[in-house]
Structure 1
Amino acid sequence: MGEQRGSDGEDAEGGAPASRRRFLGMAAAAGAGLAAAGCSGGDGGAAHPTAAPTRGPSAVRGENDRPGDSGWRLSRRGAPSAIEGYTDRVSVLPGEEFGLHVSTTAPGFTVRAYRMGWYGGARARLVWQSERVQGRRQRAPRFEQRTRTVHADWEPSLTVATRGWPEGCYLLRLDADRRSAQRYVPITVRSATAVGRTVLVNASATWQAYNEWGGHSLYNGPDGAYRSRALAVSFDRPYHKDGAGKFLIYEQPAVCLAERLGIPLAYTTGVDVATRPGQLTGATAVVLLGHDEYWTPEQRARVAQARDAGANLAVLGANTCFRRIRLESAANGPDRLAVCYKSDYREDPCYARGDYALVTNDFRRDPAPSPESALTGVLYEGYPTEAPYVVTRPDHWVFAGTGVRAGDSFKALVGVEYDRVTPEAPTPRPLEVLSHSPLVCNGQHSHSDSAYGTRPSGAGLFASGTMRWVESLDATGPGVHGVRHGMDGRTGAFTRRVTENVLRVFAAGPAGHTHPATDNLHEVYGAAAKV
């Protein structure tokens, strides 16, 4: 995937290769009693699993009956500074305005707003287009030395009113004159209510963590070194490369599939869950997409509250809820900075104040360890790897209609990062391992697990255990999307059907009431998994 790794072993896809081994050792030293182990570093035609009718209105179903526009993709990116932009808000409610800040070397440009969905396979609908806007090259970015933070701090180019825009995920496409250069700018039109709906959560903070625009991300500086990385990153700057962040790879395929199903959907971002109480109130399900690594404690608490109120939780990726961050204000408004000191956490001002719950290190690490597995059921283990996905529980309802048998495998579906069930860590029970996929990561043998569990509230939990899950939804074999990382059309058909099964059942209400989990961790992990 071309991502870089830092000099201290931090990797650009979510953690040090020895992260699980370090965590287990640290937890043991803290008296948690954990042992160090692990990695350093076709549709069968069966019926869908039983699900009650979905509840609540589904504006998305009607929306996707409208004609789509297959011309939403970039045709010419142009030079890096030819045209680029950012919004002054991560999300808006339908009808609200946002500011769009654009810099371009062209005399003028236009903006097209595409709502991303199914639309008969077109995947987008054009909902708005600007008049031609006069272009200009904006000022050089401002650099904040203390935290090595890059701020574009550009003047607004236009104000965009979203009257008539349906809630959903949007890509604004910036077109320089004569379409000599193009870039995307993402924005979420969030839902006013989640009641009776499946909530899709855009991982905006994670997109920003990896954003190298201006030379600094939370992983490295201009010299590619970990030591020169930013300690805080600003939302007031464009995303590098095509401008879409990580949306197109790790989120759009799942959004497309969910909208095709016609289940009642709601949209928000992790930033909004963290900063706006009530974003998940009344939700039937919360869906975390392919790479949702950076969370505030407030976001984690609110997702846990939704789960404990009966909302199902689908984790369609790996390395989820791994980094603890803090959102802070910047010159241009509240919550425009994502702070994460990582291994330099002792330099975090919250550490000096003794406010350890807000210190921005990995959730599992000092000074306030709280492993992500307590929420997700699985623990991030390592990077990089690539391995077949191996089914071990073929009769489970999530595999209905796939025709799989025990031992069936799907090439390259496990990667580039992975999770596994780790009974020594905090692990909600009952929990079923559905796939147990052998792999080698940095020379060490381990496994990746998909798992399903249920909670006392009735909430169901599905964790895919691999970061490639959402990306694989677009693996169709030869054609438009082609073969991705060796994942062929058979793999894509498998993950699409499993994801459909999960979303349909989860949209019907607390899955534990209709599809209880049968704990099998002792069969997979032996004495370490005894309750």
Structure 2
Amino acid sequence: MVRLRRRTALGLLLGGASAAVIGPVDPVLGRHHGTPPARRQVPPVERENRAPGEPWWPPRGGRAADDRRRQIQGYASTTSVAPGGVIDFHVAVDPAGRFRVSVHRLGWYAGAGARTMLTSPELGGVPQPVPVADPTTGALDCRWPVSWRLPVPRNWVSGLYQAVFTSAAGWRSSTPFVVRDDRRAAPLCVVLPVTTWQAYNQWPRDRRVGRSLYNGYRPDGRRDPALRARAVSFDRPYADAGLPTHFDRDEDAIRWLERNRYDVSYATSLDLHSGRLDPSRHRGLVFCGHDEYWSAEMRRAAEAGLAAGTSLAFLGANSVYWHARVRAGRNGRPERVVECAKTAPDPAADASGPTVTWRDLDRPEQALLGVQYNGIVREPQPLVVRAADHWVWAGTGVADGDRVPGVVDGEADGVNAGVVRPAGTTLSSSPYPARQGGRRLQSTSVYETPGGAVVFASGTLGWTMALDRRGHRDPRIERATANVLDRIVGRSRTP
């Protein structure tokens, strides 16, 4: 407790003023120095966060659904939608009965974490079947009927939303979607990694038929990588109560961004893939969490944006690792299937090449990020600071060799000396025990392009936890992140 108070004091003394904060002083980042609040145009997300919020999960007075009984589960017809558009929800209820859908926008909301936007009328639900896996790819493609159609109100603010399905018996599950802003280009656009969410989706996690791009089930119910799917579909629920794997890492970053009043909008990796998200309209793209599966179109768009001056901030690790292919579902709906064979030859290979790692295609992720994946962290380790005089560490009070507890967690990136790397700065050198065996070295990286764009890679899945998660928040990581984003949007701090 004493250590926490000293860190907070350090943030107050050294943190300066956050270029993204107006009004109440953040205990770490301070107050914005610039246009007086009365004359400043309030961005949509900041204005939205003034509304009263309430926690959206875990369910209060309810019970989380599971894949064994599938009490209530559902999926959305699209991963993102613009205000004025339409999104359908396909819901199964077992046993048949009444249910409702509530829609929540995730954000800061004075610490509540979400705001309830609306609730559907009472609807009727019935059981729906688990489909037979595609005999070639293993994909599970549900064709459930539409249970409820939502015309998205035109005044809804861009963000990450959750549709929560609640049965009359109190069982609950959910599915995420993003509301884009196709009209206004915010300085920062947060890109949610839906292709990776779906890659990890083991629905149904029933020890029988569920499949992800990692595992299938043997007859004895044990997971087996040899039985993994080669393709996964968005036309199915997320496993159990509907929370994607690693989803909480994105939540951590979103709460922090909105708490500190950054002017942001939101999109998905499929928006980057399709061209709906044009990186050149933004000063920077922020990839919050675990963003492992990238199509050739995604990488081409990000690299073109970088060449045109759009910065890239990767706050997770193991990003841009697998080359994936995106195609339409069996019903013709576009962008509903993610393919990744993970072996060569790839029977479905096209002009973009086989779906193997980007390294196998001679386009290693380090060439873009400055670091690349090098292991799974067996247990959380401190991030060991390097290049403490660099502008990323400004105002944090750190010195070379300082250890920031628990930040190296989950998966880690490092510098591979034998792989091409942009000229930049390594900001940490953190030894960690790898699950694969031995000890490896985690590295955080930053570089700037000749055109003035910044590419930052935290090199650890623990970074966003240090931004906003209870028991993990660290003012040094908060300040370093603010330094990166303030540099991207062209704002400065006062001492």
TM range (shorter): 0.7 to 0.9
> Which residue does the alignment assign to 1:26?
none
Provide the secondary structure at the position in 1 that maps to 2:84. Answer: coil
> Which residue does the alignment assign to 1:85?
74
> Which residue does the alignment assign to 1:285?
284
Q: What CA deviation, in whole Å up to 9, does each residue of 1:81-108 have, x standing for no partner?
A: 0111000111100121111000011511
AA at the equivalent of 1:191: D
- 1:501 and 2:492 correspond: no
Q: How far off is 1:242 after superposition? A: 2.5
Distance (Å, rounded) in 1 between the aligned partners of 2:408 and 2:83: 38
Q: How far off is 1:135 after superposition? A: 1.4
8 A Cα contact 1:200 1:268, kept in partner: yes
> Which residue does the alignment assign to 1:175?
166
Provide the secondary structure at the position in 2 that maps to 1:435. Answer: coil
Distance (Å, rounded) in 2 between the aligned partners of 1:85 and 1:133: 13
Distance (Å, rounded) in 2 between the aligned partners of 1:65 and 1:155: 37
> Which residue does the alignment assign to 2:454?
460
> Which residue does the alignment assign to 1:60?
45
In structure 2, runs of 5+ residues without a counterpart are 1-6, 20-32, 205-209
> Which residue does the alignment assign to 1:140?
130
> Which residue does the alignment assign to 2:83?
94
Give the TM-score taking structure 2 as reference length.
0.86
8 A Cα contact 1:284 1:311, kept in partner: yes
> Which residue does the alignment assign to 2:318?
319
> Which residue does the alignment assign to 1:229?
228
1:307-386 → structure 2 map (5 Å cutoff): 307-332=306-331, 333-343=333-343, 345-350=344-349, 355=351, 357-365=352-360, 368-386=361-379
Q: How far off is 1:384 after superposition? A: 3.8
Counterpart among 95, 103, 107 of residue 117 in structure 1: 107
Distance (Å, rounded) in 1 between the aligned partners of 2:490 and 2:427: 22
AA at the equivalent of 2:263: P
Provide the secondary structure at the position in 2 that maps to 1:142. Answer: coil
8 A Cα contact 1:173 1:185, kept in partner: yes
AA at the equivalent of 1:426: V
Q: How far off is 1:172 after superposition? A: 1.0
Q: How far off is 1:196 after superposition? A: 4.6
Distance (Å, rounded) in 1 between the aligned partners of 2:46 and 2:337: 35
Provide the secondary structure at the position in 1 that maps to 2:191. Answer: strand
Q: How far off is 1:194 after superposition? A: 6.2
Q: How far off is 1:251 after superposition? A: 0.2
Q: How far off is 1:136 after superposition? A: 0.8
Q: What CA deviation, in whole Å up to 9, does each residue of 1:435-465 have, x standing for no partner?
A: 1111232333321011111001100121111
> Which residue does the alignment assign to 2:28?
none
> Which residue does the alignment assign to 2:29?
none
8 A Cα contact 1:194 1:280, kept in partner: no
> Which residue does the alignment assign to 2:301?
302
Greater CA deviation, 391-400 or 104-113?
391-400
Distance (Å, rounded) in 1 between the aligned partners of 2:469 and 2:17: 24
8 A Cα contact 1:49 1:398, kept in partner: no
Provide the secondary structure at the position in 2 that maps to 1:259. Answer: helix
Provide the secondary structure at the position in 1 that maps to 2:281. Answer: coil
Provide the secondary structure at the position in 2 that maps to 1:398. Answer: helix
Structure 1 pair 247–191 and aligned structure 2 pair: CA distance change class (3 A): farther
AA at the equivalent of 1:65: R
8 A Cα contact 2:99 2:123, kept in partner: yes
Distance (Å, rounded) in 2 between the aligned partners of 1:377 and 1:268: 24
Q: How far off is 1:278 after superposition? A: 4.7
> Which residue does the alignment assign to 2:25?
none
- 1:212 and 2:202 correspond: yes
Counterpart among 136, 143, 168 of residue 153 in structure 1: 143
Structure 1 pair 134–391 and aligned structure 2 pair: CA distance change class (3 A): same
Q: What CA deviation, in whole Å up to 9, does each residue of 1:165-224 have, x standing for no partner?
A: 22110011111114x211111000112056352010000000000000031000010231
AA at the equivalent of 1:137: P
8 A Cα contact 1:290 1:468, kept in partner: no
Q: How far off is 1:276 after superposition? A: 2.2
Provide the secondary structure at the position in 2 that maps to 1:302. Answer: helix
Distance (Å, rounded) in 2 between the aligned partners of 1:373 and 1:100: 39
Distance (Å, rounded) in 1 between the aligned partners of 2:184 and 2:16: 25
> Which residue does the alignment assign to 1:46?
14
Structure 1 pair 193–315 and aligned structure 2 pair: CA distance change class (3 A): farther
Q: How far off is 1:493 after superposition? A: 3.1
Q: How far off is 1:155 after superposition? A: 0.9
Give the TM-score taking structure 1 as reference length.
0.80
8 A Cα contact 2:377 2:432, kept in partner: no
Distance (Å, rounded) in 2 between the aligned partners of 1:289 and 1:494: 18
8 A Cα contact 1:385 1:414, kept in partner: no
Distance (Å, rounded) in 2 between the aligned partners of 1:446 and 1:71: 39
> Which residue does the alignment assign to 2:403?
409
Q: What CA deviation, in whole Å up to 9, does each residue of 1:306-358 have, x standing for no partner?
A: 11111111110110000000111112311111000002x3032226xxx3x33
- 1:199 and 2:189 correspond: yes
Q: How far off is 1:419 after superposition? A: 0.5
Q: What CA deviation, in whole Å up to 9, does each residue of 1:275-314 have, x standing for no partner?
A: 1255323211111112000000110111111111111111
Structure 1 pair 506–153 and aligned structure 2 pair: CA distance change class (3 A): same
8 A Cα contact 1:193 1:279, kept in partner: no
Provide the secondary structure at the position in 2 that maps to 1:331. Answer: coil
In structure 1, runs of 5+ residues without a counterpart are 1-41, 478-487, 515-531
Distance (Å, rounded) in 1 between the aligned partners of 2:398 and 2:79: 41
AA at the equivalent of 1:391: V
AA at the equivalent of 2:476: F
AA at the equivalent of 1:99: D
Distance (Å, rounded) in 2 between the aligned partners of 1:240 and 1:79: 8
Distance (Å, rounded) in 1 between the aligned partners of 2:159 and 2:152: 12
Provide the secondary structure at the position in 2 that maps to 1:504. Answer: helix
Q: What CA deviation, in whole Å up to 9, does each residue of 1:37-96 have, x standing for no partner?
A: xxxxx2422144896969997211111111111354324204430111000111100121
Q: How far off is 1:469 after superposition? A: 1.2
> Which residue does the alignment assign to 1:485?
none
8 A Cα contact 2:410 2:460, kept in partner: yes
Q: What CA deviation, in whole Å up to 9, does each residue of 1:91-133 have, x standing for no partner?
A: 1001211110000115111111110111111110111110111
